[in-house]
Structure 1
Amino acid sequence: MPDVDCSCIERFGHARTMPGIPGSAAVTATTSSQIVWPGPSIAGCVFCTIIRDTRGAALDQAQRFNFFPAAPLCSVTWVLAGDWHRIDQPDQMMCPWTGAVMPTLAFSGTQLGPVVTWNLGETFAITIAFYPDAFSAMTGLDLSTFTGRTVPAEQVLPPPMLALCRDFLGAVQCDGAETALAVLKDKIAVMWASARPAGAGPMRWTKDWSRSLVVRAALTDLGRSARQIARRIRSWTGASQRDLQGLGHTEQLYAKLHEAIQDGEVDWAGLAAASGFADQAHMIRQMRRHTGFTPEQLRRRAGNDEAFWAYRLLGQYFDEPRGQ
């Protein structure tokens, strides 16, 4: 999507931030945002589960925005309460209810640019983010057709995966989210065990994961030319090798920026050099491409702006090893 109109965001209010639960949740006075890391049986398939709950919250229009960075992941989202509008044009920031309403059961492909959504009112939603190559292996989907898109899951998921997703919706309503998630993850583990490609496994960093994809793509028996490898990676992930390398580069920048913020001092020129950018201007362009914001804008807002709750959860990824 186009870069976010930051002049609009400057007028946003802030929700009062309360201490979060280290490694698991970021909680405000009125909302709860939780990230759940996968267990060993699905760690090479599922990146994380995100739970967002604003029921009972008294949020103004600005605080009901949700800002997400580009990510080399695909996802399934269950909207269990409320509406989510996807903001695809800058002018929709002023009238966010004009954005397209997301399906209550949605599938999203890899997002190569930032994503902005808005909630009409209170909401409760659960998202499971998958490594796209794992999801492609389990479903047989060519993910190159879903890059940057969010579509009704009923229209694209094969029957076994769709049945699993629908069963989860019913289980949440009957047994609650915690119990339903445990059952769902057991089912995903069974599906993943039967579809898992040789050499696939959990990776700590996007750069390592993307390199492993190239190796796997080169070792298949379906053709090993550079063009065939590139086509295979795009089919598995919805992204090119260059896209994945860029996202891995930005991930390293996130990590170093998070560390600098924790230390209480950010040297932008030094951060650019340490993160492998040609200069500070190059770093800013890359950050804007993947978030819609400059590094300084992101640093100021991610700390306590309600709309940036997803970035606070992302910070936990750098605080603790995934899975702990």
Structure 2
Amino acid sequence: MEPPRRARVTRSEAGGSRWEVATRELPAGLRPHVRELLGYGEASVLPRVQRQFPLPQVVVIIEFGPPIRVHDGAGVPSRYAGGFVAGLSDAWSDTGHDGAQAGMQLNLTPIGARLVFGVALSELTGHIVHLDDLLPPTHRGLAARLAACADWDDRFDMVESFIAARLAAARVAVDTVAWACQRIEASAGAVDIGRLAGELGYSSKHLVALFRDRVGVPPKLLARLVRFDRLIHRLKTGPASTWAALAAEFGFADQAHLTREVRGFTGVTPTGVRALLGELVIA
């Protein structure tokens, strides 16, 4: 019999702000499709804005606190009461709140998102969509049901059941693209896409079309996002290193190439990224 999985809740306080983050080990059946699932709550003295970097995942925010603001490239904010889904993108965005937020964040692999939401992921690429607009009637109002739960474990149970039900109901074939995504991940974004298409017996054009449906972006952009994701993880958790050394470690042509990629994905310099990462509380 599988031992019970209990949520781990971490609380912290600094500068007049309080945070709570809840995590729990995922069931084995969900791990191929879910990168992360966490609960969060924050109360701060002042409004807060945080930069979000593009990563190789579809982010689902299920809110049962005040809706956060999502700013577009011109800084114009939008709100999505109850939550939203952010498709893959090659651009950063800013999110903010007026002093309080609470909810759950579900980071899906692109294939996982294709199965859970049942729409071509090209429809989500570069867009923010209200969560209820992507759910069948039986699952709408998920945020309100989560808000009524007694504790974090009940919330994790509910979200995990929702994911499992949607995966079981999925009818789209994803094995070929899932294999290609795994190759890209395993190579940290360094796989030759032309060779990958050849191994599958597809033309590059056909592989791109499959990726646009199942992933939302072409394989070359996914590979760039995977490489950038590895760099960000290294900056968060690894030892200090020079930018030139990091460029060589992660397969950039040189330091200038790394700088161009980082600026394009984040809107700031590599040094600016390090500073932003130091401010993060919720991943």
SS state of the match for residue 159, structure 2? helix
Provide the residue aligned with 2:88 in structure 1: 110
Partner of 1:155: 133
Q: Which residue of 2 aligns with 1:80?
A: 64
TM-score normalised according to structure 2 size: 0.79
State the one-letter code of the partner of 2:19.
T
Q: What's the Cα RMSD here?
A: 3.4
Aligned residue runs from structure 1 range 194-209, under 5 A: 195=170, 197-198=174-175, 200=178, 206=185
Aligned counterpart for 2:39 among listed residues 16, 36, 51:
51
Answer yes or no: is the 8 Å Cα contact 1:217–1:233 preserved in 2. Answer: no
Match status 1:280 vs 2:276 = no
Aligned residues: 267
Report the Cα distance in structure 2 between the residues aligned to 1:175 and 1:136, rounded to whole angstroms.
Answer: 31
Of 130, 145, 159, 1:170 maps to 145
Other-structure match for 2:271? 296
Residues in 2 aligned to 1:35 and 1:217: alpha-carbon distance in whole angstroms: 38
In the alignment, is residue 239 of structure 1 matched against residue 217 of structure 2?
A: yes
Provide the C-alpha distance between the structure 1 equivalents of 2:188 and 2:248, rounded to a whole number of angstroms.
Answer: 23
CA distance in 1, matches of 2:220, 2:62: 31
Whole-Å separation in 2 of the counterparts to 1:174 and 1:191: 21
Shift of the alpha carbon at 1:218? 8.3
What is the identity percentage for the equivalent residue pairs of Structure 1 and Structure 2? 20
Which residue number in structure 2 is paired with residue 40 of structure 1?
A: 28
Q: Which residue of 1 aligns with 2:51?
A: 67
Cα-to-partner distance string for 1:103-149 (whole Å, 9 max, x where unaligned): 42322211321121110231112121111222213432011021111
User: Could you say if the C-alpha distance between residues 120 and 268 of structure 1 is closer, same or farther in structure 2, counting changes exceeding 3 Å?
Assistant: same
Kindly indicate whether residue 281 of structure 2 is the aligned counterpart of residue 309 of structure 1.
yes
Cα distance between partner residues in 2 of 1:88 and 1:110? 15
| Per-residue Cα deviation, 1:132-172 (whole angstroms, up to 9, x for no partner) | 22221343201102111112223233x1xx53353463143
Are residues 1:225 and 2:200 paired?
Answer: no
Asked if residue 143 in structure 1 is aligned to residue 118 in structure 2, the reply is: no
Offset, 1:34: 4.7
- Distance (whole Å) between structure 2 residues aligned to residue 33 and residue 171 of structure 1: 15
Considering fraction of residues, name the structure with more helix: 1
The answer (yes or no) to whether the contact 1:214–1:229 under 8 Å persists in 2 is no
Structure 1 partner of 2:4: none
CA contact 1:257–1:271 (8 Å) conserved in 2: no
Point out the structure with the larger strand share: 2
User: What is the alpha-carbon distance in structure 2 between the residues aligned to residue 278 and residue 147 of structure 1?
Assistant: 27
Indicate if the aligned counterparts of 2:83 and 2:143 stay in contact, CA closer than 8 A: no
Given residue 238 of structure 1, which amino acid in structure 2 is its aligned partner? G
What CA distance in whole angstroms lies between the structure 1 residues aligned with 2:255 and 2:188? 27
TM-score (structure 1 length as normaliser): 0.70
Per-residue deviation, 1:40: 1.2
Report the Cα distance in structure 2 between the residues aligned to 1:26 and 1:232, rounded to whole angstroms. 43
1:250 aligned to which of 228, 235, 238: 228
Distance 1:47 1:135 in 2: 11
Does 1:131 find its partner at 2:103?
no
Structure 2 vs 1, CA of residues 53 and 46 (structure 1 numbering), >3 Å: closer, same or farther? same
Q: Which amino acid aligns with 1:43?
A: R
The 3-state SS of whatever aligns with 2:265 is helix
Residue of 80, 98, 102 corresponding to 1:120: 98
Compute the displacement of 1:25 (Å): 5.3
Q: How much does 1:235 deviate?
A: 0.9
The change in CA–CA distance for 1:214 and 1:105 in structure 2 (over 3 A counts) is farther
Relative to structure 1, is the Cα distance of residues 208 and 133 closer, same or farther in structure 2, using a 3 angstrom cutoff?
farther
- Structure 2: runs of 5 or more not aligned: 1-7
Structure 1 segments unaligned to the other structure (5+ residues): 1-22, 93-97, 314-324
Specify the code of the residue in structure 1 equivalent to 2:272. Q
Q: Which of 1 and 2 has higher RCO (CA within 8 Å, sep 6+)? A: 1
